[in-house]
């Protein structure tokens, strides 16, 4: 057997982040002030983000240097391995070659620390003492707690109540790294109290938790807010994944025909795909990139492209994106990290321009793929990652049907060690899923009075 893992040395950790804004044929539309519907400038973000990150948010420079201190902390787990899925290929009896980039090697178990470390660094540089954030499945909250621990800062996390109750170990991880965790909606914020007044049993959502975290950050001295996906600077930081993968594919003497990644707000998808899309832009290659989203939260495949809020209460600027409406509360599927109503601005524009693709899956199909992967490759994937695996299985089967060997590169964005109750539900046959109707989506979108595009 040839090498299973393609490893890089620490000196091969990228020195710059790749900013796809520089290469996009159509730049994203500007964010709008919801009071005036006029474009907003960087200053409008200053109350909640440090200037170092705001500059990255609006930058069109192609390359942005990674600070040495960030690269030094990346060394705890980076470069992450690229692994050939020989066992999974054999089980699928496919002529396709399947590689996966494994981001679960980080101490938090996912790709999220790639941006958490960077964000903590820029906040620390500007004297921030505490970072407030939200978390869905807990991946982001634990990543930011870890990052704050590394920079000796405080971290406060509003965790979607559904996950808070179902994933106690995620909360414990945040505590080990010194983070403080609240179930959201909470009584600690006006936003939370408003939601609880309407529905005392609200399971929460990422949109609600974002509202709470922003409110809390704004009202806390020396504190800033942080988001783990969606925004341009977050996607930017994640491009270390794809840059490493590109180098690793070259070392393997191969190049992907298809890139597949799970999709929540866009960060792990962008992280893997953007450095390859760069080749499409620069060299006219035709590498396909497919974002895999849950059928119960299908903003890319069934949402609309229009301006919408990033949060539920309406505290953020209006962003041009694929959305199901900021009041949409997704069904309580186990891939909690994908339960978000909107898609990142850059990714939305790329989809609009047909430069990337999207596909949705029911969770039963996702867990079937995940269990097969665990039994053949060993690693138990995070429920979010199972979404991408469902697409991998479809593409691998298509290769078999057509008798064509394509090369598939997949982002195994995290392990499922902290999500085992989801697998319990799968084995006990409790993964039925509510079929989302067109009427339900239309009803959520009908509430929107934000500008259309």
Summarize as ranges the residues that interact with a second copy (CB under 8 A).
1, 3-5, 7, 9-10, 72, 75-77, 83, 87, 105-107, 109, 146, 149-150, 168-169, 172-173, 175-178, 371, 374-380, 417-418, 420-421, 423-424, 427
Least distance to a second copy, CB of residue 240, Å? 16
Shortest gap between Cβ of 420 and a second copy (angstroms)?
4
Q: Which one, 83 or 132, has the nearer CB to a second copy?
A: 83
Smaller CB separation from a second copy, 116 or 195: 116
Nearer Cβ to a second copy (173/351): 173
Which pair of structure tokens corresponds to residue 93?
């009896």
Query: Least distance from C-beta 364 to a second copy, angstroms?
Result: 15
User: CB of residue 264 vs a second copy: minimum separation in angstroms?
Assistant: 21
Distance CA 344, CA 303 (A): 13
Judge residue 194's burial from the number of C-beta atoms within 10 Å of its C-beta, 0-12 exposed, 13-18 middle, 19 or more buried: middle
Least distance between a second copy and beta carbon 75 (Å)? 4
**What kind and span of H or E run contains 161?**
helix 161-166
Q: Which is nearer to a second copy, 174 or 319 (CB)?
A: 174
As separate numbers, helices (DSSP H) first and strands (DSSP E) second, the chain gives 17, 15
Under 8 Å between Cβ of 344 and 270: yes
State which residue, 174 or 408, has the beta carbon closest to a second copy: 174
In angstroms, give the least distance from the CB of 149 to a second copy: 5
Strand partners, 259: 289, 409
Q: Which residue has the tokens 């529905």?
A: 199
Using the minimum distance from each CB to a second copy, give the nearer residue, 4 or 285.
4
**Do 328 and 253 contact (CB within 8 A), yes or no?**
no
Alpha carbons 191 and 256: distance in angstroms, whole number:
45
Q: Please report how close the Cβ of residue 372 comes to a second copy at its closest, in angstroms.
A: 10
CA atoms within 13 A of residue 326's CA, in its CB half-sphere:
24
Which DSSP state fits 80?
P
How many other C-beta atoms are found inside a 10 Å radius of the C-beta of residue 312? 26
Q: Which is nearer to a second copy, 279 or 364 (CB)?
A: 364
């Amino acid at each position: 057997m040839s090498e299973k893992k393609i490893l890089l040395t620490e000196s091969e950790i990228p020195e710059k982040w790749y900013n796809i804004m520089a290469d996009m044929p159509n730049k994203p539309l500007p964010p709008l002030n919801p009071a005036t519907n006029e474009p907003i400038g960087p200053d409008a973000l200053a109350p909640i983000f440090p200037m170092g990150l705001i500059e990255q948010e609006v930058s069109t420079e192609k390359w942005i240097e990674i600070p040495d201190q960030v690269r030094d902390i990346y060394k705890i787990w980076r470069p992450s391995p690229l692994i050939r899925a020989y066992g999974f290929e054999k089980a699928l009896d496919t002529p396709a070659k399947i590689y996966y980039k494994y981001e679960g090697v980080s101490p938090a178990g996912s790709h999220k620390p790639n941006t958490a470390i960077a964000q903590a660094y820029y906040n620390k540089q500007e004297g921030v003492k505490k970072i407030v954030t939200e978390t869905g499945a807990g991946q982001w909250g634990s990543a930011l707690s870890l990052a704050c621990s590394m920079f000796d800062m405080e971290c406060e996390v509003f965790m979607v109540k559904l996950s808070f109750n179902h994933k106690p170990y995620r909360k414990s991880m945040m505590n080990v790294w010194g983070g403080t965790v609240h179930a959201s909606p909470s009584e600690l914020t006006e936003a939370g109290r408003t939601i609880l007044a309407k529905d005392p049993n609200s399971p929460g959502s990422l949109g609600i938790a974002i509202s709470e975290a922003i409110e809390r950050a704004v009202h806390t001295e020396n504190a800033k807010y942080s988001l783990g996906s969606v925004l341009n600077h977050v996607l930017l930081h994640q491009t270390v994944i794809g840059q490493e993968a590109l180098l690793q594919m070259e070392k393997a003497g191969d190049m992907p025909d298809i890139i597949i990644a799970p999709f929540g707000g866009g960060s792990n998808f962008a992280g893997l795909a953007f450095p390859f899309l760069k080749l499409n832009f620069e060299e006219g290659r035709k590498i396909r990139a497919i974002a895999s989203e849950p059928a119960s939260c299908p903003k890319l495949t069934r949402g609309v492209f229009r301006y919408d809020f990033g949060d539920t209460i309406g505290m953020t600027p209006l962003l041009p994106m694929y959305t199901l409406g900021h009041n949409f509360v997704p069904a309580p599927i186990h891939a909690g990290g994908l339960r978000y109503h909107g898609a990142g601005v850059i990714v939305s524009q790329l989809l609009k321009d047909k430069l990337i693709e999207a596909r949705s899956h029911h969770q039963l199909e996702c867990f079937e793929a995940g269990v097969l992967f665990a039994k053949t490759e060993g690693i138990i994937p995070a429920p979010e990652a199972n979404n991408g695996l469902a697409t991998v299985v479809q593409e691998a089967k298509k290769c078999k049907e057509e008798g064509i060997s394509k090369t598939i590169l997949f982002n195994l964005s995290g392990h499922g060690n902290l999500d085992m109750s989801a697998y319990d539900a799968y084995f006990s046959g409790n993964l039925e899923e509510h079929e989302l109707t067109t009427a339900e989506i239309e009803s959520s979108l009908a509430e929107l009075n934000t500008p259309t595009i």
